């Protein structure tokens, strides 16, 4: 089954709303009786996270919100999107993290800032 694609809205993050790419998930950690902590990578650890803010016009916002709600089943499904990897954009499979679902903040009468954390696969 094909994944839905990012809708026809802006995908370029604000410079000040973009945080560094976290190229892998935190390792699993187990505290040992001797006081040491054993860390090991997670299985299939080719997943990174990106937190970004994108400015959308009101018309783009009116496209994006129903896309997240309906197409992505309240933001839970995976999708493809162009993601900034530091030197260029690349099409990647993404998903909103549990705590990184889009939040919307009006910044003027014509624009809305959308902040999100994406889980990016195959980084």
Give the tens place of pLDDT for each residue, 40-62. 877 666 888 899 999 999 999 99
Selection from 93, 58, 55, 57 nearest residue 72 by Cα: 93
Q: For residue 29, how far is the Cα from the chain centroid?
A: 24
Single pTM value for the model:
0.80
Residues in the chain, overall count: 123
User: Residue 43: its pLDDT value, please?
Assistant: 67
pLDDT reading at 18 higher than 80: no
Long-range contacts of 30-33 (CB under 8 A, 24+ apart): none
C-alpha span between 69 and 80 (Å, rounded): 16
DSSP classification of residue 118: E
In this prediction, residues 74-97 reach a mean pLDDT of 91
């Amino acid at each position: 089954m094909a994944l839905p694609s990012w809708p026809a809205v802006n995908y370029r993050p604000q410079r000040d709303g973009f945080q560094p790419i976290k190229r892998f998930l935190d390792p699993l950690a187990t505290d040992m009786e001797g006081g040491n902590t054993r860390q090991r990578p997670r299985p299939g650890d080719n997943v990174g996270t990106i937190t970004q803010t994108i400015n959308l016009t009101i018309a783009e916002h009116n496209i994006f919100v129903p896309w997240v709600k309906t197409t992505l089943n309240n933001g839970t499904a995976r999708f493809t999107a162009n993601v900034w990897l530091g030197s260029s954009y690349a099409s990647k499979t993404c998903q909103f993290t549990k705590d990184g679902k889009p939040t919307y903040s009006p910044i003027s009468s014509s624009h809305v800032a959308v902040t999100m954390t994406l889980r990016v696969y195959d980084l």
